[in-house]
Amino acid sequence: LAYDVDPNAVSEARRNVALNALSNRISVLDYPLPATGPMLGIISANLRTPTLQTLAPIFRQRLISGGFLICSGIRPWEADDLKTCLRRYRLGQVWEKTEKNWVGMILTDHGNT
């Protein structure tokens, strides 16, 4: 499942899914990740830090135990605040990389870090 509210991002994602012959496996939906639904093993979110912080409780609610949250779109000076926020939802960092003034990180529940 892929969720996005930006019409351009939805269009590009659908095009990429089709180009990779994955239309039968990946649904691109034009609305935000809902708070309810199937549990997810991986959530990938390329969003700015304020949006990631707002969505943190939904990420935690939808992520299976031992699942991974992949975050990008983070400025280096915002990374510590985001990690603090996500720790409140029992998500701890297992990987981080900064490149070209952007940060990406992978987190999982504290029991599996």
> What are the angstrom distances between the C-alpha of 77 and each of 49, 70, 98, 101, 102?
10, 18, 11, 9, 10
pLDDT in tens, 40-71: 999 999 999 999 999 999 999 999 999 999 99
Q: Are strands 63-74 and 40-46 parallel, antiparallel or unpaired?
A: parallel
Predicted TM-score (pTM) of the model is 0.90
Q: What is the rounded average pLDDT for all residues in the chain?
A: 95
